[in-house]
Chain A
Amino acid sequence: MGLSNALVSELASIVGAEAVKSGDLDRHLYSKDAGVIRGEVSVVVLPRTARQVASIVRTAVAHGLAVVPRGAGTGLTGGAVPEGPAILLVTTRMDQVDVDAANRTAWVGPGVINLDLSNQTASLGIHFAPDPSSQAACTIGGNVANNSGGPHCLAEGSTVNHVLAVEFVTAGGEIVVAGSGAPDPPGLDVRGVMVGSEGTLGIITRILVKLIPNPPAIRTLLIAFPEVRGAAATVTDVIASGVVPAALEMMDQPLIRAVENFVHADLPVDAAVVLLAEVVGHEAGVDVEAELIERIATDHGAFQLRRAADADERELLWKARKSSFGAIAQIAPDYYLHDTVIPRTKLVEVLEQIYQIAERRNLVVLNTIHAGDGNLHPLFAFDASDPEAVTQVNQAADEIVEISIAAGGVLSGEHGIGQEKRDLMHLVFSPVDLDAQARLRDAFDPEATMNPKKILPAGARCFDFGRPIPEGAWL
């Protein structure tokens, strides 16, 4: 459904005609993110300023339309895909960067590309720690909205640990700032709740991010194991030793083989799994830490240890890790990437179950795992034109969620809930828990203007039989 001409011209009067796209082609191009769900877009707007965003929100409210924010559209859960008549608000033109080197912070627009920020601050010796594999394309606004992670979040935490303040436009069309460059601003942590809220509580128009010092020294190790158990035990023992590596990633054999064909990094294709470990810090410490990891790995049966000799080799190893998705294309035209988290100590048994699911359903599964924090990314390669394969992949997805939760885990560690996992939320939360989250959402956006039908399943606000609020009570 397109919009009335009156509305299009109203939006054009806010952002300029060339920043409003209502043609069929544009509406189609923007109707999907990098996941599998397609929606319908009424009109696309590309504002440049927070005030424009506020005007767009007020216009949407006046016309009873929802507003769905979108960054680069690399999200995997349909988070930026409208599920009903909506204005799609694309932030890519909001790409201002203001660095405060002395405080190691920067105010950035939500449309700034993740990698661009760290490239811009490289000469100052500081960087933005969250490094999703999509970092060359995804926006910081999207990172904040999804509380995205990346391999280096093991030691540094996800996006939320690196956001000091957010400016956002409320459902009422007001521009407010939550948080501060000073620690612990008084009052409730509205900033903390905005991060990870997937566009459902407001539209983020500016972000104060923390930038951390680039490490003076780095050692990157690739360690091959004949079985998963030894690699998992290595992960546990390394962390128990008091060394928290900057990254501790695991790739399984099917993935190693696919990637090796693609990047030719001389990867150990006979290994059941490899660990990619990185230690960073003072020059005097990194070799000691690297040796410690190698010793622990050897004790657990590692049969090949490789330490990147220089920056080029390090980059090659990381390229191998981060190009998994490109590599899959050689195997099958489509892939379905999962994201669940389990307690780290359950890794071996859950991975074993994932292999069994794939075998039973005759699917190709490849695993890349943020092993240090138990974040699983099983990836099914398949051909979406084969309906049977699609059915099997979807059913396998549900099974993976079930086994993860049975192991004490959750639905998502970094990709978010969006539409994809919305209806699975009851698997981890009780009706009362979901009701509390729905109340929180209502406190921000009572009319559900902001990215409706994401995160919470329909009917989450089901506990309306609470105590009646007396007339004239406090709110």
Chain B
Amino acid sequence: MTGLRSTLGKLVGGSAIEIDGAPAADLSVAPESAEQIATLLDFASEHGLTVLPWGSGRHQGFGGRIDPDVIVSTSRLAGITEWIPDDLTVVLGSGATLGLLHDQIWTRRQSAILPETSPEATIGGVIAAGVSGWKRLRYGPTRDRLLQVKFVTGDGRVVTGGARVVKNVTGYDLPRLLTGSFGSLGIITSVCLKLWPVPEALATVATDDPDRALAVTHRPQAVLETPDGVSVYLAGTAAEVEAQAAAVGGEVTAGHSWPDQPAGECVVCIRVTPVDVALVVTSLTAHSFVAAHGVGEVVVAVDPSEIEGLRERAEAGGGAVVVERAPQAVYEEIDPWGTPPATIDLQRRIKAAFDPLNVLVAGRLPGNL
């Protein structure tokens, strides 16, 4: 491996790095450009090396375990390239953190509506994992805000999909395809996101009836339930927020404060249709959880032995139970995704179209893809 190591080191113009929390690999590198990553992946394809892209590690608990030869960190692709506030768009490197982006665009009260409680996560990781913030009830999932994506395919081609405009039907929707692809199709190097202006007034109202809260408010940002109760997250003009808070009727707090992720070693996301959320919540007894009413997402800390039962019920209603993080042993016992999707054959061909030699995260996606 020493020869390979120094060759790869030369290819990316730097030496090996250490990454906290990453699986053991022969080599970890932090390239400075998409072109360097292309050279590296081309080399990996030629020599049959397996590659794991790495952002902050925040979402590496999803999917099948990877035993990589090379880890490619995006930590040197971490800048905000261009922010045009009046267009409500921003272009940034995939290694840029949500915290960095937030701090910059908040100066003009703009938001990319990304997960609220993981400032250390990288934008590349969030896109690759396809995770969304709680405000998706109002703004839709993260994939609805990815306007353009630049990525390097498994065989080392630098590809751009989408464009830097907020509305676009020019060509196939590669940004959506890359969202939630977990590095299986390519390593994302930069993205352009659509931003939203942050409304003037924000308030959080306590309630005990989430269905009623959804009925008496118009397009709230979120209705979240935890073991401590239900909160309705309102936003808009001051007058509108005040009137809606009164309609909900509970205790009002100015601003939004978001619940922490459930505490526990093994955390899963139960994904069901919106009406099934209440049912799921009823079935959770002594659990730490956050349930998104109106959306269909319940993130919950479980004992691994509960997963199969929860999964059976969720899948029967067209949903899924997805492992977000768990001790290593759990992955050996339980499929982190559940039953593979109906389009699995198609997905296999799509993967092969972008990563013909299967060097990128083989086995991470559902169906051991």
Which one of B46, B132, B347 lies within 8 Å of A187 (CB-CB)?
B347
A410 in contact with B176 (CB, 8 Å): no
The reply on A230 being an interface residue by CB < 8 A is no
How many chain A residues touch B (Cβ–Cβ < 8 Å)? 95
Say how far A345's CB is from chain B's closest CB, in angstroms: 5
A475 in contact with B180 (CB, 8 Å): no
Interface string of B177-209 (1 = CB under 8 A from A): 101110011000000000011111000000000
Within 8 Å CB of A433, what residues of B?
Answer: 159-161, 171
Interface string of B118-146 (1 = CB under 8 A from A): 00000000000010100010001101100
Interface string of A392-429 (1 = CB under 8 A from B): 00000000000000001111111111000100010011
Interface string of A166-201 (1 = CB under 8 A from B): 000010000011101111111111101101110000
Among B158, B350, B365: residue with most chain A CB under 10 A: B350
Q: With A244-B197, A443-B353, A467-B356 as known contacts, state yes or no: A410 contacts B144, CB within 8 Å.
A: no
Say how far A344's CB is from chain B's closest CB, in angstroms: 5
Within 8 Å CB of A170, what residues of B?
Answer: 346
Within 8 Å CB of B276, what residues of A?
Answer: 182
Which one of B88, B197, B357 lies within 8 Å of A474 (CB-CB)?
B357
Q: With A284-B243, A429-B160, A430-B160 as known contacts, state yes or no: A185 contacts B166, CB within 8 Å.
A: no
Within 8 Å CB of A102, what residues of B?
Answer: 274-275
The reply on A147 being an interface residue by CB < 8 A is yes
A213 in contact with B218 (CB, 8 Å): yes
Within 8 Å CB of B243, what residues of A?
Answer: 282-285
Within 8 Å CB of B160, what residues of A?
Answer: 429-430, 433
Q: How far is the CA of A280 from the CA of B331 in the complex (A)?
A: 48
Within 8 Å CB of B365, what residues of A?
Answer: 186-188
Q: With A185-B320, A408-B165, A410-B168 as known contacts, state yes or no: A285 contacts B141, CB within 8 Å.
A: no
The reply on B35 being an interface residue by CB < 8 A is no
Which one of A105, A374, A439, A443 lies within 8 Å of B165 (CB-CB)?
A374
Q: How far is the CA of A435 from the CA of B153 in the complex (A)?
A: 12
Within 8 Å CB of B337, what residues of A?
Answer: 186-187
The reply on A455 being an interface residue by CB < 8 A is yes
Q: How far is the CA of A373 from the CA of B196 in the complex (A)?
A: 12
B239 in contact with A284 (CB, 8 Å): yes
The reply on A118 being an interface residue by CB < 8 A is no
Please tell me which stretch of B8-16, B79-87, B93-101, B301-309 contacts chain A, meaning at least 4 of its Cβ atoms lie within 8 angstroms of it.
B79-87
Interface string of B143-175 (1 = CB under 8 A from A): 110000000010101111101111111111110
The reply on A320 being an interface residue by CB < 8 A is no
Q: How far is the CA of A411 from the CA of B349 in the complex (A)?
A: 28
A439 in contact with B295 (CB, 8 Å): no
Which one of B157, B161, B244, B346 lies within 8 Å of A463 (CB-CB)?
B157
B367 in contact with A469 (CB, 8 Å): no
Within 8 Å CB of A413, what residues of B?
Answer: 165, 167-169
**Residue of chain A at shortest CB distance from B241:** A285
B165 in contact with A161 (CB, 8 Å): no
Within 8 Å CB of A177, what residues of B?
Answer: 342-343
Q: How far is the CA of A160 from the CA of B167 in the complex (A)?
A: 11
The reply on B253 being an interface residue by CB < 8 A is no
Which one of A157, A282, A343 lies within 8 Å of B144 (CB-CB)?
A157
Say how far B156's CB is from chain A's closest CB, in angstroms: 8
Within 8 Å CB of A456, what residues of B?
Answer: 171
**Residue of chain B at shortest CB distance from A414:** B169
Interface string of B91-112 (1 = CB under 8 A from A): 0000000000000000011000
The reply on A473 being an interface residue by CB < 8 A is yes
Within 8 Å CB of A239, what residues of B?
Answer: 88, 197
Say how far B360's CB is from chain A's closest CB, in angstroms: 12
Interface string of A423-464 (1 = CB under 8 A from B): 001001110110111011111100000000001100000010
B341 in contact with A187 (CB, 8 Å): yes
B295 in contact with A183 (CB, 8 Å): yes
A412 in contact with B168 (CB, 8 Å): yes
A375 in contact with B357 (CB, 8 Å): no
Within 8 Å CB of B87, what residues of A?
Answer: 343-345, 374
Within 8 Å CB of A414, what residues of B?
Answer: 167, 169
User: Which residues of B in the span 220-265 have a Cβ within 8 Å of any Cβ on A?
Assistant: 236-240, 242-244
Which one of A104, A146, A193 lies within 8 Å of B173 (CB-CB)?
A193
Q: How far is the CA of A126 from the CA of B8 in the complex (A)?
A: 56
Q: With A189-B130, A192-B176, A437-B171 as known contacts, state yes or no: A182 contacts B318, CB within 8 Å.
A: yes
Among A183, A240, A375: residue with most chain B CB under 10 A: A183
Interface string of B299-317 (1 = CB under 8 A from A): 0000000000000001001
A104 in contact with B170 (CB, 8 Å): no
Q: With A408-B165, A417-B171, A467-B45 as known contacts, state yes or no: A282 contacts B197, CB within 8 Å.
A: no
B170 in contact with A281 (CB, 8 Å): no
Q: With A103-B273, A239-B197, A410-B165 as known contacts, state yes or no: A475 contacts B349, CB within 8 Å.
A: yes
B163 in contact with A428 (CB, 8 Å): yes
B366 in contact with A186 (CB, 8 Å): yes
Within 8 Å CB of B327, what residues of A?
Answer: none
Within 8 Å CB of B130, what residues of A?
Answer: 184, 189
Q: What 4 new A-B contacts, CB under 8 Å, besides A182-B318, A428-B163?
A: A242-B200, A373-B167, A416-B169, A467-B356
**What 4 A-B pairs come out closest when comparing CB atoms?**
A285-B240, A192-B176, A284-B243, A182-B319
Interface, chain B (partner A; CB < 8 A): 42, 45-46, 84-89, 108-109, 130, 132, 136, 140-141, 143-144, 153, 155, 157-161, 163-174, 176-177, 179-181, 184-185, 196-200, 217-219, 236-240, 242-244, 271-276, 295-297, 314, 317-320, 322, 337-338, 340-344, 346-354, 356-358, 365-367, 369
What are 14 A-B interface contacts by the 8 Å CB criterion? A157-B144, A182-B319, A186-B366, A187-B365, A236-B86, A281-B218, A281-B236, A282-B240, A282-B243, A284-B239, A408-B164, A417-B169, A428-B163, A466-B155
Interface, chain A (partner B; CB < 8 A): 102-105, 146-147, 149, 153, 157-158, 160-161, 170, 176-178, 180-190, 192-193, 195-197, 212-213, 215-216, 236, 239-244, 281-285, 288-289, 292, 341-345, 370, 373-375, 408-417, 421, 425, 428-430, 432-433, 435-437, 439-444, 455-456, 463, 466-467, 469, 473-475
